[in-house]
Amino acid sequence: MVLVENNSVREPNVALVASAGVLWPVLLCLSLCGPKASTRIAVLFSFDPQPGSGRIQLSVCRPRSAAQYTQPTGRKFPEMTRMSVTFTQASQAPHPVTDRVCEAMTISLRGCDELLPQTDWLAKLARSEATGVPLRVKLGLDPTAPDLHLGHTVVLNKMRQLQDLGHTVIFLVGDFTSMIGDPSGRNMTRPPLSREQIEANAQTYFNQAKLVLDESKTEVRFNSEWSDPLGARGMIQLASRYTVARMMERNDFHDRFKAGTPISVHEFLYPLMQGYDSVALKSDLELGGTDQKFNLLVGRALQSEYGQEPQCILTMPLLEGLDGVEKMSKSKCNFIAITEAPNAMFAKLLSIDDTMMWKYFTLLSFRPEAEIAALRREVEGGRNPKDAKVLLAKEITARFHNATAAEAAEADFNLRARGGVPQQIDAITLSGAPLGIGAVLKQANLAASTGEALRLVDGNGVRVDGSVVSDRGLKLSAGIYVVQVGKRKFARVTLE
């Protein structure tokens, strides 16, 4: 029930009624009493369930006497005059869900952790298919480090898949939000970056991202475009659209508050500003890792606040690194950079666990899911899992380099595995012969310290000209040697 007070019955009241996402104008021409009276009207709305039409029932109170005009608003109305108004509009039936729409939905769901709400995304896909208007798909990345690794490409791959379906992908560089610092998954305040650091990192971001995305079909934006002009007044107005109670529903904020760990006010601004990005870009879908779910939902809520159709959100799993435990991260030293040399990239991919390999296939490979499933059945039936891993390593290496480099990387790996020496290894000249093996390894950059070098000798991890070194006290006289540590580190050392 909505109580409407009209102080001048000479003027009509116009109520805008929302039904099924459509605003209906209803003109209430009031001529119920004298122009100086204050008329209180109780209006009850009810709607037909059919899309595109509705029925409004208006219950109008007309007081019996002038004295009743002064009664409190909460008083039961003495008399109700009822009338019904039926309105119609051209039917807006849902767009058909074609085979192409179903295929797009399957591609959207591949490997994803959550797609919310799925019914809304299906409707958006169907509308896009019917109207020919591409959807706007947004991914924001803060340039917190100069390089991208394979973990970052999980969401970039999904962007490329949606791009290949004909939709507009927006690669958003969070140059403004980087100065706030994303608190996602943090148990303490994350230090913001300086403008100089951000600009330096942002220079390389898209150059690396376009190794996955189609540059000609990608919209590159910086969120400082609309965030900087907001100013203090705009920031306060934005903050008024979201409550502290909802902000504290975020797990990391809740846990830190409960533990008595400080939470800075500026950290509340990060999800608000990320959400405002969605408003500025009018995004239909925002992608992110599972740790970004809260921020993505804030964007959806803010779009509703600003009168926009809310975006859907799609979260992708976090990719574990080479250790198979922690998420891939440069700080954990378990990463594969997308700018890694072909031989190193190939070898690192072959080092992943046989079980973890299938998650890498799902999140990184562009092979059809049916083909991956068939390959997995072959491995479970006895095929060497290394065969599958080689296919994955060659695909990923070729994507970021080329097919020739991938073939050469495979040959190099096999040569090293047989104990052979690669054709291209670093050549280093050292002086001071005779020189102890520990000093040789350190100066040739094959070990971080002499102590580490000697531990490698103790573990039979060092070879000179193909022979295992077991004597810590070994000294090499003047000459040329091929020194090897493990399976992948080589150096041709000229000792003078």
DSSP character at residue 337: B
Say whether both 207 and 281 belong to one domain.
Answer: yes
Most confident of 15-29, 193-207, 234-248, 429-443: 429-443
Determine contact, residues 157/314, Cβ cutoff 8 Å.
Answer: no
Least confident range of 185-189, 200-204, 403-407, 440-444: 185-189
- Asked, for residue 444, whether it belongs to a domain, the answer is yes
Partner residues linked to 58 by β-bridges: 43, 83
Which tens digit of pLDDT belongs to each residue from 81-117? Answer: 333 333 333 334 589 999 999 999 999 999 999 999 9
Claim to verify: residue 270 and residue 121 sit in the same structural domain: yes
- Same structural domain, 460 and 488: yes
Query: Is 213 within 8 Å of 168 (Cβ atoms)?
Result: no
pLDDT band at 418 (very low <50, low <70, confident <90, very high): confident
Residues 370-400 pLDDT 10s: 999 999 999 999 999 999 999 999 999 999 9
Same structural domain, 166 and 264: yes
Using alpha carbons, select from 320, 300, 337 the residue that is nearest to residue 114.
300
Residue whose token pair is 């999140």: 363
pLDDT of 242 higher than 90: no
- CA distances 259 to 38, 248, 255, 269, 303, Å, are 56, 13, 6, 21, 33
- Judgement on whether residues 138 and 241 belong to the same structural domain of the protein: yes
Long-range contacts of 227-234 (CB under 8 A, 24+ apart): 227/176, 227/177, 227/273, 227/276, 227/277, 228/176, 230/276
Return d(Cα 338, Cα 398) in angstroms, integer: 11
Q: What is the pTM of this model?
A: 0.65
Q: Are residues 61 and 121 in the same domain?
A: no
Q: Is the residue at 324 inside a domain?
A: no
Q: What is the pLDDT of residues 459-469, one digit of tens each?
A: 888 888 878 88
Residues 112, 212: Cα–Cα separation, whole Å: 18
Task: Provide the pLDDT confidence category of residue 47 given band limits of 50, 70 and 90.
Answer: very low
**What is the predicted pLDDT for the residue at 376?**
96
Q: What percent of the chain has pLDDT over 90?
A: 38
Is the predicted pLDDT of residue 9 greater than 60, yes or no? Answer: no
Q: Which of 316, 351, 374 is the last residue of a domain?
A: 316
* Number of domain units in the chain: 4
- Whether 326 is covered by a domain: the verdict is no
Give yes or no for a cis peptide into 229 (omega within 30° of 0): no
Please tell me whether residues 32 and 84 are part of one structural domain: yes
337 within domain boundaries: no
Domain that holds residue 132: 99-316
Question: Are 211 and 296 part of one and the same domain?
Answer: yes
Domain end among 357, 383, 417: 417
Q: Domain boundary residue among 36, 60, 88? A: 88
In a domain, 335, yes or no: no
Domain annotation covers residue 67: yes
Q: 365: domain CATH number? A: 1.10.240.10
pLDDT tens digits, residue range 450-459?
888 888 888 8
336 vs 331 pLDDT, higher one? 336
Q: How many Å apart are CA 212 and CA 489, to the nearest integer?
A: 29
Q: Could you tell me which residue, 330 or 17, shows the higher pLDDT? A: 330
Residue 400 covered by a domain = yes
